[in-house]
């Protein structure tokens, strides 16, 4: 499917997250984490992650959970490394690019990059900021 339209509404968000997570569940690296470690029920999870992305992309105010805390709990069961976040981001970007094009699609990729980087750093016990190496002036 060629990218012919931008993300515009909840239907588009649902299409994106559904396609993305079905791909992730089949991924050799990430799939077992979702199925065997997190025991994620995809049908239950999709509306929640739809709320998350609807909030991220359209400031909808629908997501009220702590995504970082959920990932800390998962990380305690199965350490999540840079390779996991890089693969997650690679699949997300490819899914967006296959289906959508425009400013919101670009924001979806940018925000995913920021989220993946921040979560990865936080799980390593570092600052979530991508500017953590900038120190105070003396």
Q: What is the pLDDT of residues 100-134, one digit of tens each?
A: 999 999 999 999 999 999 899 888 877 556 655 55
pLDDT value at residue 72? 84
Could you give the percent of the chain with pLDDT greater than 90? 71
**pTM for the whole thing?**
0.85
pLDDT value at residue 32? 96
Mean pLDDT of 64-70: 85
User: In the 8-state DSSP scheme, what is residue 137?
Assistant: P
Tell me the CA distances in angstroms from 18 to 73, 92, 129, one per residue in order.
Answer: 23, 11, 29
Q: Is the pLDDT of residue 2 over 60?
A: no
CATH fold of 10-123 reads: Globin-like (1.10.490)
Q: Is the pLDDT of residue 20 over 80?
A: yes
Q: Is the pLDDT of residue 3 over 80?
A: no
pLDDT value at residue 4? 77
The sign of the torsion formed by the CA atoms of 64, 10, 122, 68 equals: positive
Cβ neighbours for 38, distance < 8 A, ≥ 6 positions apart: 74, 77
* Residue of 127 and 83 predicted with greater confidence: 83
* Residue of 98 and 136 predicted with greater confidence: 98
């Amino acid at each position: 499917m060629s990218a012919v339209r931008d993300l515009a509404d909840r239907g588009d968000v649902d299409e994106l997250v559904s396609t993305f997570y079905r791909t992730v569940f089949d991924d050799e690296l990430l799939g077992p984490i979702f199925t065997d470690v997190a025991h994620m029920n995809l049908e239950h999870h999709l509306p929640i992650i739809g709320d998350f992305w609807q909030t991220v992309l359209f400031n909808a105010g629908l997501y009220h959970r702590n995504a970082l805390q959920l990932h800390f709990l998962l990380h305690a069961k199965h350490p999540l490394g840079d390779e996991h976040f890089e693969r997650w981001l690679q699949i997300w970007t490819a899914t967006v690019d296959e289906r959508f094009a425009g400013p919101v699609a670009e924001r979806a990729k940018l925000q995913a990059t920021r989220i993946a980087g921040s979560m990865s750093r936080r799980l390593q016990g570092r600052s979530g900021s991508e500017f953590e190496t900038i120190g105070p002036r003396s």
